[in-house]
Amino acid sequence: MEEAQRLLLQRSRLRLVRELQVAPLWDLLLHKGVFTQDMIEEIQRAGTRRDQARQLITDLQTRGRQAFPAFISSLRETNQNDLADLLSEGCKFPQLRPLDIKPIEIGLRGGKGETYGKIPEYLPTSVRAVTERRQESALPSAATQGSAPDRSQRNSDMVYVLKADPCGYCLIINNVNFTKECDLSSREGSNLDCEKLEKRFKSLHFEVLIQRDLKAQEIVRELQHLAKQDHSALDCCLVVILSHGCQTSHIQFPGSIYGTDGKSIPVEKIVNFFNGTHCPSLRGKPKLFFIQACGGEQKDRGFEVDSDSPVSQLHGSSVESDATPFQIHPCNLDEPDAVASLPTASDILVSYSTFPGFVSWRDKQSGSWYVETLDDVLEQYAHTEDLPTMLLKVAHAVSAKGKYKQMPGCFNFLRKQFFFMAK
């Protein structure tokens, strides 16, 4: 697309997103060769009408010279003349008939040929570098092919694009003090976890919201309030829960979180507040959950490993002596806390601090193993690695700690790679 056409689209973007009726356009844009059926279906999966309009405008800019006049023509054919006139300002295009447009030759997604790509406002350095290396190795030499087209965004349709700043809300619920009636101990060290994560996610361009010491019904209200917000201008949503937890009867996945009144909330219910039915403005956008709580009362003593294993080297070392709070002594014992669960839905990742049924350890002076390790990994790798890769690093590090063992994990239902906005 020519630069003047691109500028017109950008200048009119807000009005297009607000007013564009996308549904009547699909058949016309397909017939005129502006988009393929796969591309249209992906745009339709973007979520609300506004999300679809926003994605259509973004993708339109990659479709070549014929796309812009064909789009204006389609607007007129669907009686969206005001928008057509707005985009025609400063540029005169003839009203095109279907026969005037020839399909644009493109390769199939995931197949051979030139791959369709979006133009994201933000892609991590590692994604760009890997993409460029793959392209350079696949392209013919300039001597035989001539100058090659710019394909630096070739694989961006496999990465969630974060273009808003802030990129989304981050709600942290930090339960420390519980009522005497519920017989749950105070979670000393959790405030340090909360402070670390608040600072970390602010640095990753989230708008951080913090709620402390909430009863079960208050947790539900906060989650429902966040889910009902308009996330259309944002790119993702993140929820952190620091509390006691337990096993519970369930339909899909185990795990519940305690409010400060001792009443529990199933994690699958927490996640469902943000599904496509209850939170349409987050459809197609990543929804991330980090749970530090207890999954049960079992204590994992681990198992014997080969002598050259990094885990076995911890026994008897200074690292184990740092973990002496795990001796059976009430005043020194770390507090047990974590499990998470989620329904089988797309664009969701739930990271939980321990295997279902087992305790999760928290040091009163330094905070929980899981949050401390997660914060360290994010600090070192958020600018280069995707989230699942970083969570593997967290799991590896936490699993090597202490006399008693802990195994973090995650349920990953993301459709694309997720990189934090760590510029």
69-93 pLDDT per residue, tens: 888 889 888 889 888 888 886 454 4
Predicted structure pTM score: 0.57
Which range, 107-116, 154-163, 225-234, 350-359, is most confident? 225-234
**Is residue 253 very low, low, confident or very high in pLDDT (cuts 50, 70, 90)?**
low
Active-site residue 167, yes or no? no
Question: Looking at residue 220, what is its pLDDT?
Answer: 96
pLDDT at residue 138 tops 60 = no
Q: Quick: pLDDT tens for 177-225.
A: 999 988 888 988 899 999 999 999 999 999 999 999 999 999 999 999 9
Residue keyed to tokens 């003349």: 81
Q: How high is the pLDDT of residue 343?
A: 39
Q: Span 35-63, mean pLDDT?
A: 85
Catalytic residue list contains 279: no
**Average pLDDT over the chain, rounded to an integer:** 75
pLDDT of residue 124: 52
Question: Helix, strand, coil shares of the chain as percentages rounded to 5?
Answer: 40, 15, 50
CA distances (Å), origin 70, targets 31, 60, 176, 297: 10, 10, 59, 63
Instruction: Dump the DSSP string for 229-255.
Output: S--TT-SEEEEEEES-EE----SS---
- Residue 237 near residue 243 (C-beta atoms within 8 A): no
Of the listed ranges 159-163, 352-356, 387-391, the one predicted with least confidence: 352-356
Of 166 and 137, which is predicted with more confidence?
Answer: 166
Express each pLDDT in 284-336 by its tens digit: 999 999 998 864 444 434 433 343 334 433 333 332 222 223 233 343 344 55
The token pair at 347 is 């664009």
pLDDT per residue as tens digits for the range 213-236: 999 999 999 999 999 999 999 999
Handedness of CA 43, 289, 200, 394 (dihedral sign): negative
Give the pLDDT of residue 155.
59
Measured between alpha carbons, how far is residue 47 from residues 34, 85, 247, 363, 404 in Å?
A: 21, 27, 34, 42, 45
Helix (H) or strand (E) holding 372: helix 369-381
Given this model, what pLDDT does residue 254 score?
Answer: 62
Contact 340, 351 (CB under 8 A): yes
Q: Note the Cα 253 to chain centre separation in Å.
A: 20
Starting at the edge strand that comes first in sequence, how are the strands of the sheet with 264-266 ordered? 245-246, 256-258, 264-266
Query: Quick one: pLDDT at residue 161?
Result: 93
User: Which residue has tokens 């699958």?
Assistant: 268
- The answer, yes or no, to whether residue 57 has pLDDT greater than 90, is no
Degrees to nearest 5, angle at CA 87 with 83 and 90? 140
Annotated catalytic residue: which of 167, 170, 294, 410?
294
Q: Which of 361, 362, 370 is nearest to 404 (CA)?
A: 361
Torsion angle defined by CA atoms of residues 142, 144, 149 and 154, in that order, rounded to the nearest 10 degrees: -100
d(CA 227, CA 397): 33
Q: What sign does the dihedral 106-110-112-117 (CA atoms) show?
A: positive
Mean predicted confidence (pLDDT) in 380-399: 93
Q: Which of 244, 246, 279, 410 is catalytic?
A: 244
CA angle 395, 401, 405 (to 5 degrees): 80
- Reply yes or no on whether the pLDDT at 410 is more than 80: yes
